[in-house]
């Protein structure tokens, strides 16, 4: 067991030496029926006109390479 921990420690050190940092995220499980219901409820409350305006703004300030 210590070998696996040592390998992980060494891997983290190598990544840090390369300027990388480990980041862990905890996110809702989209496979959960309760989460899916919550998301559907929130989406249903969105204002379509407001969402279109937000998308127009995002597109206006975004850089696209045209490819």
Indicate if the pLDDT at residue 1 is higher than 80: no
Q: Mind listing the pLDDT tens digit for each residue in 18-59?
A: 999 889 999 999 999 999 999 999 999 999 999 999 999 999
Q: Which of 53, 55, 27 is nearest to 39 (CA)?
A: 27
Residue 28 near residue 35 (C-beta atoms within 8 A):
yes
Query: What is the residue extent of each domain of the chain?
Result: 2-61
Indicate if the pLDDT at residue 65 is higher than 70: no
């Amino acid at each position: 067991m210590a070998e696996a921990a040592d390998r992980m420690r060494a891997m983290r050190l190598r990544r840090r030496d390369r300027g990388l940092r480990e980041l862990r995220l905890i996110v809702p499980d989209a496979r959960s029926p309760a989460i899916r219901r919550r998301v559907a409820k929130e989406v249903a409350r969105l204002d379509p006109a407001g969402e279109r305006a937000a998308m127009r703004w995002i597109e206006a300030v975004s850089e696209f390479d045209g490819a």
